[in-house]
Amino acid sequence: MNLTERLLTALIGAAELCTVELGRELGLYEALRDGPLDAAGLAEATGIDERYAREWLEQQAAAGFLTAEFALAPGAAEALLDEGGPQFLGTAGEFAVGLGLLTPRVIEAFRTGEGIPYADYGRHIRHGIAAFNRPMFDHELTTTWLPAVPEIEARLRSTPGARVLDLGCGAGHSSVALARAYPAITVRGIDLDPDSITDARTAAAAAGVADRVTFAVADAASSPRDEYDLVTVFEALHDMGDPVGVLRAVRPSLAPGGSVFIGDERVSDEFVAPAGEIERMQYAFSVLHCLPATRAEKPVIANGTVLRAPTLLAWARSAGYESPEVLPIENDFWRFYRLR
């Protein structure tokens, strides 16, 4: 495929992602969950205009998201509606809209060198990130990732009152998944974004674990006051303006034998071009979101999304961890590390 063909394919995909966000935001897919609807039925069920309903239905069928009878296509419910399910990627449209809305700000940031605060990216990016990562937290964190490190798994299961600190917890799905899997532990999640913390508290309450999971708006670089058996950092270290400072600050808070468990982007150890699809996606997010958001923090280091393993290991050693290691855990998106 030549570059012109690639750009056309990308344009089609970007436009279709925006129509997916229409369907998610207006509840159109949800209205179709129980069976097909014509334009009049969809308009009545969702409160939208009938003419717009007809155009959206036809477009969705043409794109293959619906059948010609305007029913959800096979697999569409799992991909578009079942948030938290292993096949869910309904957040893709949110990402497209959220990044597009802020692109004019990014253009200006390129000219001035200034950053764009994370909060300014709004609910589309905030929920998009949370919903993208949630299936991994719900289905892999406590069944695959942590059991791959027997010492951590045993400590969480056998130590009464084991304490976990979840740095950069976002909307709290990682914290909630930990508490649900390990009923003897308590979890404290911290994040700089107040709206994310509000979402996290709601998630903990809905999951019935708010008695063991607490959240606070706090800077991860501030030394934690308590002692923790495990500190987790999921897809957040690359966004921190002082990652070495954060790792250094949490090190004294580790209980004897405790660990820092990190999941961050799976990318090549060195720059390669052209890169694979996942790394291409991560670089695009870095240009449009992660780097501008980190620059807004007046950072010591502005790494961007593409956090390579040698870089992270070097940060860990600078922070005083003598034997940081890359863990042999397979995942399409993230690489995992243990620091002690």
DSSP character string of 82-125: -TTSTT--TTHHHHHHHHHHHHHHHHHHHHH-----GGGGHHHH
Which among 33, 58, 76 is the end of a domain?
Answer: 76
How many C-beta atoms surround the C-beta of residue 176 within 10 A?
Answer: 28
Please give the backbone phi and psi of residue 277, each rounded to the nearest 5 degrees, phi first.
-60, -45
- CA-CA distance, 270 to 23, in Å (whole number)? 40
CA 234 to chain centre: 8
Q: Are strands 325-326 and 334-339 parallel, antiparallel or unpaired?
A: antiparallel
How many C-beta atoms surround the C-beta of residue 181 within 10 A?
Answer: 17
- Let me know if residue 229 belongs to a domain: yes
Sign of CA dihedral 305, 306, 312, 314: negative
How many C-beta atoms surround the C-beta of residue 140 within 10 A?
Answer: 17
Which stretches within the chain are classed as H helix? Answer: 3-25, 28-31, 39-46, 50-63, 76-80, 92-112, 122-136, 150-158, 173-181, 194-207, 243-250, 277-285, 291-295, 309-318
Banded pLDDT at 221 (limits 50, 70, 90): confident
Same domain membership, residue 191 and residue 272? yes
Residue 98: CB partners within 8 Å, gap ≥ 6?
A: 121, 122, 124, 125, 128
- Let me know if residue 128 belongs to a domain: no
Q: Provide the domain limits for residue 246.
A: 146-282+294-339
Same domain membership, residue 302 and residue 201? yes
Residue 142: CB partners within 8 Å, gap ≥ 6?
A: 177, 178, 180, 181, 182
Banded pLDDT at 156 (limits 50, 70, 90): very high
- Look at residues 83, 96, 86 and name the one whose alpha carbon lies nearest to residue 29: 83
Does residue 223 have a pLDDT over 70? no
DSSP 257: E
Which among 56, 76, 96 is the end of a domain?
Answer: 76
Same domain membership, residue 59 and residue 188? no
Element (H, E) at 166: strand 163-167
Average pLDDT over residues 232-243: 97
DSSP 33: T
Asked if 254 and 231 touch (Cβ cutoff 8 Å), the reply is yes
Compute the mean pLDDT over every residue in the chain, rounded to the nearest whole number.
Answer: 96
Asked if 306 and 283 touch (Cβ cutoff 8 Å), the reply is yes
- Let me know if residue 88 belongs to a domain: no
Q: What is the pLDDT of residues 262-302, one digit of tens each?
A: 999 999 999 999 999 999 999 999 999 999 999 999 899 99
- Let me know if residue 95 belongs to a domain: no
CATH number for position 59: 1.10.10.10
Which residues is 230 bridged to in the sheet?
Answer: 164, 259
Banded pLDDT at 224 (limits 50, 70, 90): confident
Q: What integer pLDDT is reported at residue 222 of this predicted model?
A: 79
- Let me know if residue 101 belongs to a domain: no
- Let me know if residue 117 belongs to a domain: no
The domain tally of the chain equals: 2
Same domain membership, residue 150 and residue 72? no
Residue 180: CB partners within 8 Å, gap ≥ 6?
A: 142, 207, 209
- CA-CA distance, 212 to 101, in Å (whole number)? 37
What does pTM read for this prediction?
0.94
Average pLDDT over residues 238-248: 96
Asked if 164 and 139 touch (Cβ cutoff 8 Å), the reply is no
Sign of CA dihedral 175, 178, 181, 185: negative
Q: What is the pLDDT of residues 175-191, one digit of tens each?
A: 999 999 999 999 999 99
Banded pLDDT at 141 (limits 50, 70, 90): very high
Query: Cα separations (Å) of 51 from 57, 61, 311?
Result: 10, 16, 54
Same domain membership, residue 62 and residue 152? no
- Let me know if residue 213 belongs to a domain: yes
Same domain membership, residue 178 and residue 307? yes
Average pLDDT over residues 83-98: 95
